[in-house]
């Protein structure tokens, strides 16, 4: 065995969505601030592809990079790597990071509620972890302030005709579309159809719309299409479609933050209200409207997302300098048609 570098990862998932946390061997990322590191990672692809693509990665899941906090009052900084790009924030990945930090002893665990302060490129996220008998049993995230960019935006799709989408920010920008408008249901049997539709609609939307965060120009463009479906019991079923063609296994923290903002804008939710969101596999997040603030000239809501994370393994990966696939690859049979844009 001849490796020129190795990384250690702790494998975790939050309500079914995999978040692999790099706890050792992480290369030095240029930049003095987390924002500068995030900006670098937006344009860097070798590390991202080597960790997220095959043979070291898989179609489902993310890789979470940990950084020392800029503010000594905080606990860690995080950046999320996915096959398409680096992302500023992810609710399920923040739950995975919090669970790993506590259960591995990187942050000392105590019984009861522990606050873990995470710096992200989308703003500070405070995680309230409930800990019992050495286990992080739940995590409540104070998510970045979320706001509506546009309700009922009309787009021309060709295949599905003219449809409406809500454009909202929940840590990244989302286009939120009612699944029934495409004649679909959010259920495991339609995961492939939903994924393909989401990828196609994301491309259409980004050609027709331009969105930029009013205070952070590094966050721009629609990152995800999320489908929603109101259930008879008052819950909301959600399915976030992720490049190059899969569904988020969790209900999606940033997506539900964005959807909360749309519900507040429509007068469906008031401050202090709570509802539940379910994923395609029936995992669940609790969503709470915790308050309001301003982002630039936009009225914004302060979402709280509660979910659970589990560690299921530890993993060391290595890179042999003679390996022709150090930078990873993806094939359309597993990853969807957009995988053909990734060099082998």
Catalytic residues: 90, 252
Secondary element (H or E) of residue 208: helix 191-208
CA distances from 15 to 102, 205, 248 (A): 18, 29, 10
Helices (H) and strands (E) in the chain, counts: 6, 18
Cα angle 47, 50, 54 (rounded to 5 degrees) comes to 155
Beta strand spans in 30-71 (E): 62-67
Report long-range pairs for 283-291 (Cβ below 8 Å, ≥24 apart): 283/15, 283/16, 283/249, 283/250, 283/251, 283/307, 284/15, 284/235, 284/251, 285/15, 285/91, 285/250, 285/251, 285/252, 285/253, 285/256, 286/140, 287/256, 287/257, 287/259, 287/260, 289/260, 289/264, 290/142
Task: Measure the CA–CA gap between 194 and 202, rounded to whole angstroms.
Answer: 12
The answer to whether the Cα torsion of 217, 194, 125, 49 is positive or negative is: negative
Is-contact 216 122, C-beta < 8 A?
A: yes
Residues listed for the chain: 344
Is-contact 302 290, C-beta < 8 A?
A: yes
Task: Measure the CA–CA gap between 86 and 77, rounded to whole angstroms.
Answer: 14
Which residues, in sequence order, are CB contacts of 136 under 8 Å at separation 6+? 98, 99, 102, 103, 109, 129, 130, 309
Map residue 103 onto helix, strand or coil. helix
Task: Measure the CA–CA gap between 61 and 82, rounded to whole angstroms.
Answer: 7
């Amino acid at each position: 065995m001849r490796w020129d570098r190795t990384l250690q990862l702790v494998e975790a998932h939050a309500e079914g969505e995999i978040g692999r946390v790099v706890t050792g061997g992480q290369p030095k990322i240029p930049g003095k601030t987390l924002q500068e590191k995030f900006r670098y990672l937006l344009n860097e692809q070798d590390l991202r592809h080597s960790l997220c693509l095959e043979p070291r990665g898989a179609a489902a899941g993310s890789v979470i990079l940990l950084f020392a906090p800029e503010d000594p009052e905080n606990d860690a900084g995080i950046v999320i790597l996915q096959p398409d790009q680096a992302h500023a924030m992810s609710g399920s990945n923040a739950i995975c990071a919090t669970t790993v930090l506590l259960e591995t002893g990187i942050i000392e665990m105590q019984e009861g509620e522990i606050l873990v302060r995470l710096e992200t490129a989308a703003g500070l996220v405070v995680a309230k972890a409930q800990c019992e008998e050495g286990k992080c049993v739940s995590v409540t995230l104070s998510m970045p302030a979320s706001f509506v960019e546009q309700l009922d935006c009309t787009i021309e799709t060709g295949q599905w005709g003219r449809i409406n989408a809500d454009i909202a920010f929940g840590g990244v920008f989302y286009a939120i579309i009612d699944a029934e408008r495409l004649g679909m249901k959010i259920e495991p049997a339609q995961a492939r159809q939903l994924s393909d539709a989401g990828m196609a609609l994301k491309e259409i939307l980004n050609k027709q719309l331009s969105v930029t965060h009013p205070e952070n120009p590094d966050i721009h463009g629609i990152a995800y299409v999320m489908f929603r479906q109101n259930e008879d019991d008052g819950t909301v079923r959600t399915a976030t479609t992720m490049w190059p063609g899969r569904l988020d296994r969790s209900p999606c923290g940033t997506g539900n933050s964005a959807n909360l903002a749309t519900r507040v804008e429509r007068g469906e939710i008031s401050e202090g209200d709570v509802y539940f969101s379910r994923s395609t596999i029936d995992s669940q997040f609790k969503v709470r409207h915790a308050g309001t603030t301003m982002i630039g000239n936009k009225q914004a809501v302060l979402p709280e997302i509660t979910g659970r994370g589990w560690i299921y393994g530890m993993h060391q990966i290595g890179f042999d300098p003679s390996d022709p696939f150090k930078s990873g690859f993806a094939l359309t049979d597993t990853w969807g048609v957009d995988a053909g844009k990734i060099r082998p």
